[in-house]
């Protein structure tokens, strides 16, 4: 998936996510993760409750054959609560209790590790402009888009990579999906704190030279953007990715300025105009 859109429809191979449960549990959303953990918790306790219920007199102070008494005894055993009301009585229940205590320790350790890994995973919160524009800059047609750091911290040694992905035909007549790197005027920023306008000049060496909106649509072209850097808080490398479809590229448009000087001499960044574009007269 890229920006909510599937890369392609896959046939001839089965994607078995259950074979990589650790990756799956780290990538699913928090509601899905908590739902899965809750269902697993109740299912495991229900399974042990059925084992306990097989011995009608095995739990002290429990109603004989009561599933719910056995279930809540399982909850107290796995959570090492031990209120002192329900207790194992027979040898059979003591064996099942020992087994559940062992797996309960493992289960809670794994769950705590997964939750910590999800919280500790460094992520980037970088806002990209909804559209990219093509306009004149220093007399050269230039492709531009905006990026902004949504957090109050800084991203150190930030770097941007811009690639054109499009369909093309080789000299032998084969249709391929080609990746071509687009050079930008400033590919590195020592400190990325506020806003960054990334610009690619469409000169004689640019893969976009001679192309227009209709041709990009015909080639199913996309712009793939990757911004990386070191998060100031985590001191770890973070990445952000965004894709612009051909329909997201607006020709003969420009971004209005969002940086202003206030009367007291301080600078103000108006993110309310971050996604705004203005049409300009075609050269």
Residue 173 · residue 211 · CB < 8 Å: no
Q: Which of 99, 120, 141 marks a domain boundary?
A: 120
- Note whether 258 and 144 are same-domain residues: yes
Whole-angstrom Cα distance, residue 115 to residue 37?
11
Q: Which of 93, 120, 147 is the last residue of a domain?
A: 120
90 with 136, same domain: the answer is no
pLDDT at 171 over 90: no
Could you tell me if residue 35 is inside a domain?
yes
Let me know if residue 268 belongs to a domain. Answer: yes
Quote the DSSP letter at residue 172.
Answer: T
Output the CA–CA distances (angstroms, integers) from residue 207 to 77, 124, 132, 153, 280, in the order listed. Answer: 66, 29, 16, 35, 23
Clarify whether residues 113 and 153 are in a common domain. Answer: no
Q: Could you give the CA distance from residue 59 to residue 46 in angstroms, rounded to a whole number?
A: 16
Residue 2 pLDDT exceeds 80? no
- H runs (alpha helix) in 186-255: 213-218
Share of the chain above pLDDT 70, in %: 93
Query: Mean pLDDT score of the chain, rounded to an integer?
Result: 87
Binned at pLDDT 50, 70 and 90, residue 145 comes out as: very high
C-alpha to C-alpha distance for 55 and 100, rounded to whole angstroms: 16
pLDDT band per the 50, 70, 90 thresholds, residue 26? confident
Confidence of residue 236 (pLDDT cuts 50, 70, 90): confident
Proportion of the chain above pLDDT 90, given as a percent = 45
Same-domain status, 45 and 184: no
186 with 265, same domain: the answer is: yes
Of 253, 58, 21, 143, nearest in space to 74 by CA: 58
Counting every residue written for the chain, the total comes to 283
Q: What CATH number is associated with residue 99?
A: 1.10.287.70
Number of H helices, E strands in the chain: 5, 16
Residue 98 within any structural domain of the chain: yes
CATH code for position 174: 2.60.40.1400
pLDDT at 231: 87
Q: Residues 58, 81: one domain?
A: yes
pLDDT of residue 228: 93
| pLDDT exceeds 60 at position 3 | no
Mean pLDDT of 240-253: 93
pLDDT at 19: 72
Which tokens sit at 273? 């105009």
Average pLDDT in the 14-37 region?
81
Q: Please count the structural domains in the chain.
A: 2
Task: For residue range 94-116, list pLDDT tens digits in order.
Answer: 999 999 999 988 999 999 999 99
Does 165 score more than 90 pLDDT?
yes
pLDDT, residue 7, reads 56
| Rounded distance between C-alpha atoms, residue 165 and residue 179, angstroms | 5
- Whether 209 is covered by a domain: the verdict is yes
pLDDT at 202: 92
The model's pLDDT over 175-229, given as tens digits with 9 standing for 90+, comes to: 888 899 999 999 999 988 888 999 999 998 899 998 888 999 999 999 999 999 9
What's the pLDDT score for residue 243? 94
Q: Indicate the pLDDT class of residue 81, thresholds 50, 70 and 90.
A: confident
User: Structure pTM?
Assistant: 0.72
37 domain residue, yes or no: yes
How far apart CA 257 and CA 2 sit, in angstroms, is 29
Query: Does 8 map to a domain?
Result: no
Percentages helix, strand, coil for the chain, rounded to the nearest 5? Answer: 30, 30, 35
If asked whether residues 271 and 165 sit together in one domain, one would say: yes
The mean pLDDT value for 18-34 works out to 84
**pLDDT tens-digit profile of 256-277?**
988 888 888 787 888 888 899 9
Q: Which structural domain range is residue 97 located in?
A: 17-120
**Last residue of a domain, which of 85, 101, 120?**
120
* Range 1-12 average pLDDT: 56
Is residue 152 located within the same domain as residue 262? Answer: yes
pLDDT in tens, 47-70: 999 999 888 888 888 888 889 999
Q: What is the pLDDT of residue 17?
A: 61
Q: Regarding beta strands 132-137 and 249-251, do their DSSP bridges make them parallel or antiparallel, or are they unpaired?
A: parallel
The verdict on residue 12 lying in a domain is: no
Do residues 239 and 194 share a domain?
A: yes
Are residue 113 and residue 134 in the same domain, yes or no? no
Residues 215 and 247 in one domain: yes
Q: Is 151 helix (H, G, I), strand (E, B) or coil?
A: coil
Q: Is residue 274 part of a domain?
A: yes
Tell me, yes or no, whether 143 and 113 share the same domain. Answer: no
């Amino acid at each position: 998936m890229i920006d909510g859109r599937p890369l392609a429809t896959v046939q001839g191979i089965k994607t078995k996510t259950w074979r990589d449960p650790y990756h799956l549990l780290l990538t699913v959303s928090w509601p899905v993760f908590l739902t899965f953990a809750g269902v697993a918790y109740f299912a495991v306790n229900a399974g042990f409750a059925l084992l306990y219920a097989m011995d009608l007199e095995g739990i002290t102070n429990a109603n004989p054959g009561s599933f719910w008494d056995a279930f809540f005894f399982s909850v107290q055993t796995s959570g090492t609560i031990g209120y002192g009301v329900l207790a194992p009585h027979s040898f059979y229940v003591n064996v099942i209790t020992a087994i559940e205590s062992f797996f309960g320790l493992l289960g809670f350790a794994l769950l705590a590790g997964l939750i910590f890994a999800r919280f500790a995973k460094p992520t980037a919160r970088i806002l990209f402009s909804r559209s990219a524009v093509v306009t004149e800059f220093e007399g050269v047609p230039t492709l531009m888009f905006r990026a902004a750091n949504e957090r109050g911290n800084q991203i150190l040694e930030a770097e941007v990579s811009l690639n054109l992905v499009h369909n093309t035909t080789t000299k032998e007549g084969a249709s391929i999906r080609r990746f071509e790197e687009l050079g930008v005027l400033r590919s590195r920023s020592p400190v990325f704190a506020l806003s960054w306008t990334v610009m690619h000049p469409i000169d004689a060496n640019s893969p976009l030279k001679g192309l227009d909106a209709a041709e990009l649509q015909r080639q199913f072209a996309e712009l793939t953007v990757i911004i990386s850097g070191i998060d100031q808080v985590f001191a770890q490398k973070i990445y952000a990715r965004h894709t612009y479809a051909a329909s997201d590229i607006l020709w003969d448009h420009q971004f209005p300025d969002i940086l202003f000087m206030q009367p007291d001499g301080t600078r103000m960044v108006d993110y309310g105009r971050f996604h705004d574009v203005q049409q300009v007269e075609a050269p």
